[in-house]
Structure 1
Amino acid sequence: MIAAKGYAAQSANAELSLWTFDRRDVGPHDVQIEILYCGVCHSDVAQINNEWFPGLFPMVPGHEIVGRVVAVGEHVKNFKPGDLAGVGTLANSCKKCAHCDDGLEVYCENGVIPTYNGLDKYRDGLPTYGGYSNTIVSDESFTLHIPEKLNLAAIAPLLCAGITTYSPLKHWKVGKGHKLAV
């Protein structure tokens, strides 16, 4: 296990406080990231306050994660230590159903695993903890390359708010001449 520290809500509606916990070891297809920035999203507050469903506590929120790769698993092909990387709202999926095969993991027929406030039923069944911490271990297929020389603090929110806006525009092929409201 990897020793980690972060800010966690120990119970529903609690304030965040410093907490030490263990992350899973880097597996064959995993990327370990030293977290440099993590955006703050209203959904983090909603989950801490049990506004959507009962949460898993202690809860380390954060799903707009940007940092530097510090270790990779033996089968990782697209990342190396020193690369900039990001992790958004998803940590895992079954990777076998029709939706996953089509690159639509968010609709996984067997259930997606959120970056935090979930149990990773495809690995070890342990809780997932988010980016309000110093490090995270992510499956390579749920890790994104971040180009060098960008403002990392500005990039982090794009991993939720940005993709939430961009994804439907791309899906529906919105372009020049279309009218829309965001």
Structure 2
Amino acid sequence: MYTAIGYAAQSATTPLAPVTFQRRSPRPDDVAIEILYCGVCHSDIHQARNEWGIAVYPLMPGHEIVGKVTAVGGAVTRHKVGDLVGVGCMVDSCRHCEACHADLEQYCLEGMTMTYGGADRVDGSITMGGYSDSVVVSERFVLRIPEKLDLASAAPLLCAGITMYSPIKHYGIKAGDKVGVLGMGGLGHMGIKLAKAVGAEVTLFTRSASKAGEARRQGADHVIVSTDDEQMKAAAGHFDFLLDTIPVQHDLNPYLDTLRFDGVHILVGLIEPVDPALHAGKLVMKRRVLAGSLIGGIAETQEVLDFCAEHGITCDIEMLDIRDINEAYSRMIAGDVKYRFVIDMATLKV
């Protein structure tokens, strides 16, 4: 064990504050990492405030981690001291179920171990995330950061990037497909970039016409203002796929109408009950599919890092001093960030 420092919430109603805590010494298959950057995901806020009802305190968020290897266990073969690496939303799984054997560790039948707020499978201790100076993770869940990627901008690819890439790959979205992206936050702007990179014709759905210029700067071909009934009617039966990043309850029915027959509406942002009720006829009468997707497996996450390096894609970020993390949460709730905060961990040591 060794002493680490970071920022954590002690309860759902207290702000994040500096803490010291114990990290485990590396096990034979472990990689010890000095954290250089950590992205700030909206789910960090949900967890810190226990909005999903599963938080365990003290809770140290952060699952978009980029850093440098400082030590490795004796059985490690994939990484060496000095390597630039990343850690995403999970740090372990059962490794033997059908999902794990299919490189879909996020769907582990025994439950993945989350990077923070999870239970370590060896000693039962609560995992602490990337708002810290260091982390120790099994090599199987450590990713290689390609040389071409800017380290800070690469951090959100470990959550936002893979969340959008996984459904694009799974559903075979390709050149010529008509793809609608719902919402343009941290997830949505990555969805636009990745869908364009595979050659799709991309349309942003937004409630605000003022976002049209920014959407096109991100690569969108078209913009539909979802509160404009005429624009929504004109889009009826047009899209092959919808990538829905909206994180709060919203009416799915008008969007389903914009799908062609056999079209697929993929939820990546909403994990609450659908409200208002879904009209099943909108699915049945056109053989449409309503689906969901959760982050991605480890191999697939490495794939999106390599894909983004090859295509020059990174997340648009705003650098953050960790001492301003609580203010950053308030700004995120207000939608005042384009499009992801990334903590410079050098500020933790000042």
TM tier relative to shorter chain: over 0.9
Q: Distance in 2 between matches of 1:69 and 1:181?
A: 39
Structure 1: any 5+ residue segments left out of the alignment?
Answer: none
SS class of match (1:67): strand
Instruction: Give the TM-score normalised by the residue count of structure 2.
Output: 0.51
Alpha-carbon displacement from aligned partner over 1:40-70 (angstroms, at most 9, x marks no partner): 1110000011111231111110000000000
Output the TM-score relative to the length of structure 1.
Answer: 0.97
Correspondence 1:92 to 2:96: no
Matches within 5 A, 1:24-173: 24-120=24-120, 122-173=121-172
- TM superposition shift of 1:118: 1.3
CA shift for structure 1 position 154: 0.4
Q: Mark the structure with the bigger radius of gyration.
A: 2
Could you tell me how far 1:159 is from its partner in structure 2?
A: 0.6
| Distance (Å, rounded) in 2 between the aligned partners of 1:134 and 1:95 | 28
Q: CA deviation at 1:13?
A: 2.5
The structural deviation recorded for 1:181 is 2.0
CA offset digits 1:18-60 (Å, max 9, x no partner): 1000011101111111000000111000001111123111111
Q: What aligned pairs does 1:2-21 form with structure 2 within 5 A after superposition? A: 2-21=2-21
Higher relative contact order (CA 8 A, sep 6+): 1
How far apart, in 2, do the equivalents of 1:22 and 1:45 lie? 23
Q: Partners of 2:179 and 2:138 in 1: how far apart?
A: 35
| AA in 2 matched with 1:101 | H
Secondary structure of 2:3 counterpart: strand
Structure 2 residues without counterparts, runs of 5 or longer: 182-350
- Distance across 1 between alignment mates of 2:50 and 2:163: 22
Offset at residue 151 of structure 1 (A): 1.3
Distance 1:108 1:85 in 2: 23
Quick one: which amino acid aligns to residue 96 of structure 1?
H
Query: How far has the Cα of 1:177 moved from its partner?
Result: 1.2
- Give 1:111 deviation, angstroms: 1.1
Aligned equivalents of 1:161, 1:108: Cα separation in 2: 20
For residues 166 and 66 of structure 1, what CA distance do their matches in structure 2 show? 19
When the two chains are superposed, the root-mean-square deviation of aligned CA atoms in Å is: 0.9
- What code does the residue aligned with 2:174 have? G
CA positional deviation for 1:147: 1.6
Distance 1:162 1:146 in 2: 13
Cα distance in 2, alignment partners of residues 161 and 149 from structure 1: 19
Structure 1 outlier segments of 4+, above 2 Å: none
**DSSP 3-state at the match of 1:181:** strand
Letter in 1 for 2:141: F
CA offsets per residue over residues 3-29 of structure 1, 9 Å max, x none?
110001011131111100001110111
2: distance between equivalents of 1:87 and 1:134?
14
